Amino acid sequence: MESNGHDVNASYHDDAVSSASGLMLFSQWFSSVHGYASVIVSIFGVFTNIFNITILSRRDMRTPTNILLTCLAVSDILTMVPYIPFAIHFYCPPASPFETPWKFTYSWIMYMLFMVNITATTHTISIWLGVSLAVFRFVQMRSTSRGPLAKERRINQAKVISLIVCVVSSLVLIPNYMTNELEVHTLPDNTTYYVIKDLKLATNETKEVVLINVVTYAVIAKVVPCFLMIVFSGSLVYTLSLKGRSRRRRLANTGKKSKKDSRQTTTTRMLLVVIVLFLLTEFPQGVLILASASIPGFYLNVYWPLGDLMDFVALVNNAINFVLYCIMSQQFRARFFEMYLRRTVTLKPLEESMTTERMYLKEPATKMTSTG
C-alpha cells in the first residue's frame, strides 16, 4: 500500500511539474506578443469608450442605465490609458532587469506600482458598476412607477450609486495598495535596478495581514460581485420569462404580435452579454487568487504565469462594449452614425433597451438629421 501511495504521489508531482512547465512556456510565448496586442487593444478601447461617453451622455440618451454605462466607460479609459506606456516600455519587446536594467529605474517602477494600483481600483469600480446595472434593470422591471418624475428619480439614484461605488472601492482597496513595495538590486557591474517586491503570495512566509488583504480583495472585488450579478441577472431573466408568457397569453386571443416582448428580449440579451463578459474576466481571477492564498506554490506555478493573459482579457473586456452597443442597440448605432459619420438614419419605433427608456417615438418613423 505504501509503495502504491508513493507511486501515486510521484505521478501527481510529475504531472504538477509538467503542468507548471507548460504554463511557464506559455507565459514566455505570450509575453512576446502581449505588449503589442495590449497596446492595440488599449488604443482601440480608449477611442471607442470616448464614443460611448459622448453618445450616452447626450440629453436625449439620459437614462439610469446610460449613467452607469457612462461611468463604466470612464473607468475603462482610466484602466487602459496608464497601461499603454507601461506595455510599450516593458513589453515592446519584453524587458528583463538583467538584460535591460535601464528600463527598471526608480521612476519606471514607481509608475508600474501606480499602474498596478489604479487598475485594481478601476477593475473593482467596473465590476460593481456591472452589479449596479443588473440591480437597476431588475428593480425597474419590478417597479410600477412610470413617467418623467420616476425616470428623473432613478437617474439621480444612478448618479449617487456611481459615486458611492467609486469612493468605497478606492477606500476598501487601501490595504491592498500597501502590499507592494520597491526593492533595489545591484548587478555585478554595479548597475542598479528596481523591482516591485511582491509581499502577497510569492513565498510561503506571507505575513498574516497581507494574506488577509489578498483574500479580502478577492472576495470583495471579484467573488461577491460576480455572485450578485449571477443572482440578479438570473432573477431578471426569470421575471422577463414570466411577463413574456403572461403577455403572449393575453395577446393570443387578439392574434396580434407583441413588439414589446421583442424589445425586452433585446434588452435582456444585451445586459446578459455585458454581465457574462464581466464574469468571464473577473470570476476566474478571483478563484485563482483564493487558490493562491490556500495552496502552497500555486501563486508562482499557476497564477503568475497566467498574469499577462488575465491582464489582456481584462483589456479586451474594457474595449469591446462599444461593439456590443452598436450590434445590439438600434438607437446607439443611429446616434453614432449621426455624430461621427454624419449620416442620416431612419429609426423604427425604438425598443426599451439599455440605451433608451422611451417605448416609442412620437412618430411611427422619424428621420434623424445630422448635427453637422
Contact 35, 88 (CB under 8 A): yes
Model pTM score: 0.81
Within 10 A of 229 (CB to CB), how many other CB atoms are there?
A: 27
Give the DSSP letter of residue 94.
B
Which amino acid, residue 189? Answer: D
Distance CA 231, CA 214 (A): 25
Contact 192, 185 (CB under 8 A): yes
Contact 65, 137 (CB under 8 A): yes
- CA distances from residue 317 to 32, 65, 111, 125, 324 in whole angstroms, order as listed: 21, 19, 23, 14, 11
Residue 363's pLDDT is what?
Answer: 36
Contact 325, 261 (CB under 8 A): no
Distance CA 112, CA 120 (A): 12
Which amino acid, residue 166? Answer: C
Given its phi and psi angles, is residue 265 left (phi above 0), alpha (psi -120 to 50 degrees) or beta? alpha
The grid cell for 358 is 422611451
In 3D, which of 54, 231, 223 has the Cα closest to residue 137?
A: 231
Q: Which residues of 320-354 are buried (b: 16+ CB within 10 A; e: fewer)?
A: bbbebbbebbbbbbbbbbbbeeeeebebeebbbbb
Distance CA 51, CA 208 (A): 45
Alpha helices (H) in the chain, listed in sequence order: 2-56, 64-91, 106-142, 148-172, 174-177, 208-218, 224-252, 259-294, 298, 307-319, 321-328, 330-340
Residue 264's pLDDT is what?
Answer: 56
Residues forming a β-bridge with 94 = 91
The sign of the CA dihedral 92, 98, 100, 101 is: positive
In 3D, which of 262, 217, 218, 208 has the Cα closest to residue 240?
A: 262
φ and ψ at residue 184, rounded to 5 degrees? -105, 140
- CA distances from residue 17 to 8, 135, 293, 299, 309 in whole angstroms, order as listed: 14, 44, 19, 14, 20
Q: Please state whether the peptide bond connecting residue 93 to the residue before it is cis, i.e. omega within 30 degrees of 0.
A: yes
pLDDT in tens, the chain (372 residues): 544 443 333 333 444 445 557 888 999 899 999 999 999 999 999 999 999 999 999 988 888 888 999 999 999 999 999 999 999 999 999 988 888 999 999 999 999 999 999 999 998 999 999 999 888 888 877 776 777 788 788 889 999 999 999 999 999 888 878 777 788 988 888 889 998 876 555 555 556 767 777 888 888 889 999 999 989 888 877 777 776 666 666 666 665 554 444 555 666 677 778 888 888 888 998 899 888 888 888 888 888 899 999 999 999 999 999 999 988 888 888 899 999 987 766 555 444 444 444 433 333 333 333 333
Q: What is the 3-state secondary structure (H, E, C) of 206-264?
A: CCHHHHHHHHHHHHHHHHHHHHHHHHHHHHHHHHHHHHHHHHHHHHHCCCCCCHHHHHH
Distance CA 192, CA 197 (A): 15
